[in-house]
């Protein structure tokens, strides 16, 4: 690969993210660890130490001025204002804030996503996994993404939020709308998902009203009972965070599918886990590392700083490229190797670092563990049943379709 890096680093193009991306990252790490991507005035970070540093210094690197490459592109096209219709006045969202406000907003959610709280949903989760696998059949090909991976997070979100299963098909279309909002390339494309998003807001307002009248053991009731600045959080803030919870089903869908694809690619892996169920945790972490569901996030420097030998001015952006950091040979031995027993299994960047560390990490891992524990208890093999297709998205990473068969 002797072409100039500038010809190869095409991070706004979804087709860049095939297997060739990793060779490009290797060159970036050595030639330009803070690679200046001129079209969006952003430095692309490919080394783990730099990704970790930026993530853990929110006083120097802000979340408040854009989080995705698509947002930077829309801002450059003058289309940011079109997104404003989705922001309720006062509807602050934790991921777009910096400390100290970010910590207060995070505390609203974190109590309801602790392992202890989630344990209470363990039985329901196991039930969902059994139901979904019951429908998978034995030996006939099906799409793992639509039949299982997309469904489980929806059922879990509905249970956590105290939403009736009857409303799950509508939830599914709203979650899809939220994802579509993240990949629009023009203001005109916002219209249709925007309408679905408006429906979601109306639905959530109704749910809030129901829970106000009859509180239950669910996260909406918990939000309504919590305090922010000494009083219950505003409806706008609750809406923003509930919508986020629902939409995180997307990254979970991608994780569950990637695990299935790794198991299908290695004929022995499933048997190894059957023999040693303790391996499943490491399998999940290696899938997270090698195929991070969220590919990266933007930060904005709030002061001039030097990073990776590069001068960055206040106001310039940095992009934390997780798939690159996760294969940094300075951090992982033999980084391209799928090794569930590796010592540094949890050291990947896929849930981020620092104060914005993924709030849903425990829940995502719990879903993955429950689903694949159930799958492995029933089946001795999962095999590819055709060519999978990639999800064409700049920020979200994984399969759109994954045809497989399951065998007892």
Q: Which residues bind other proteins (CB under 8 A)?
A: 56, 103, 106, 110-111, 113-116, 346-347, 351-355, 357, 361-362
CB closer to other proteins out of 141 and 362:
362
What is the distance of C-alpha 328 from the center of its chain?
21
Using only C-alpha atoms, the chain has a radius of gyration, in whole angstroms, of 21
- Is-contact 393 183, C-beta < 8 A? yes
CB closer to other proteins out of 91 and 354:
354
- Is-contact 322 69, C-beta < 8 A? no
Residue 296 C-beta: closest distance to other proteins, Å: 16
CB closer to other proteins out of 30 and 111:
111
CB closer to other proteins out of 103 and 390:
103
- Residue matched to tokens 């990949």: 183
Output phi, psi for 257, to 5 deg: -70, -40
Euclidean distance between CA atoms 313 and 302, whole angstroms = 8
Residue 62 C-beta: closest distance to other proteins, Å: 17
CB closer to other proteins out of 127 and 362:
362
* Cβ-based neighbours of 73, under 8 Å, separated by 6 or more: 12, 40, 185
Euclidean distance between CA atoms 169 and 172, whole angstroms = 5
Residue 355 C-beta: closest distance to other proteins, Å: 6
Residue 119 C-beta: closest distance to other proteins, Å: 11
Euclidean distance between CA atoms 106 and 97, whole angstroms = 10
Residue 28 C-beta: closest distance to other proteins, Å: 23
CB closer to other proteins out of 120 and 137:
120
DSSP label of 145: I
Residue 49 C-beta: closest distance to other proteins, Å: 13
């Amino acid at each position: 690969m002797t072409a100039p890096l500038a010809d190869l680093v095409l991070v706004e193009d979804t087709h860049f993210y095939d297997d060739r991306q990793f060779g490009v990252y290797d060159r970036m790490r050595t030639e330009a660890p803070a690679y200046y991507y001129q079209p969006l005035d952003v430095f692309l970070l490919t080394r783990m130490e730099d990704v970790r540093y930026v993530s853990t210094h929110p006083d120097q690197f802000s979340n408040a001025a854009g989080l995705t490459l698509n947002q930077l592109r829309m801002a450059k096209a003058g289309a940011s204002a079109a997104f404003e219709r989705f922001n309720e006045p006062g509807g602050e969202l934790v991921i777009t804030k910096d400390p100290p406000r970010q910590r207060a907003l995070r505390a609203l959610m974190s109590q309801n996503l602790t392992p202890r709280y989630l344990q209470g949903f363990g039985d329901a989760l196991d039930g969902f996994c059994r139901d979904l696998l019951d429908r998978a059949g034995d030996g006939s090909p099906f799409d793992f993404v639509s039949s299982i991976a997309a469904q489980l997070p929806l059922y879990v979100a509905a249970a956590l939020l105290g939403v009736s299963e009857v409303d799950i098909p509508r939830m599914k279309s709203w979650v899809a709308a939220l994802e579509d909002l993240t990949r629009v390339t023009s203001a005109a494309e916002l219209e249709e998902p925007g309408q679905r998003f408006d429906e979601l807001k109306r639905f959530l307002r109704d749910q809030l009203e129901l829970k106000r009248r009859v509180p239950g053991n669910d996260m909406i009731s918990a939000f309504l009972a919590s305090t922010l600045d000494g009083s219950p959080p505003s409806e706008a803030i609750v809406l923003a965070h509930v919508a986020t919870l629902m939409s995180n089903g997307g990254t979970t869908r991608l994780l569950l599918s990637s695990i299935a694809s790794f198991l299908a690619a290695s004929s022995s892996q499933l048997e190894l886990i059957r023999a040693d169920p303790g391996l499943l945790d490491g399998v999940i972490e290696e899938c997270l590392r090698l195929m991070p569901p969220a590919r990266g996030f933007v930060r904005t420097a709030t002061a001039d700083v030097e990073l990776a030998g590069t001068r960055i001015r206040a106001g310039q952006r940095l992009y934390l490229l997780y798939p690159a950091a996760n294969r940094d040979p300075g951090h992982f031995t033999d980084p391209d190797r799928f090794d569930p027993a590796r010592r540094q299994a949890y050291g990947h960047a896929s849930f981020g670092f620092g104060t914005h560390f993924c709030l849903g990490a425990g829940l995502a891992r719990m879903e993955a563990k429950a689903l694949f524990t159930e799958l492995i208890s029933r089946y001795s093999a999962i095999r590819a049943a055709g060519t999978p297709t990639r999800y064409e998205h700049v920020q979200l990473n994984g399969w759109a379709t994954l045809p497989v068969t399951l065998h007892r």
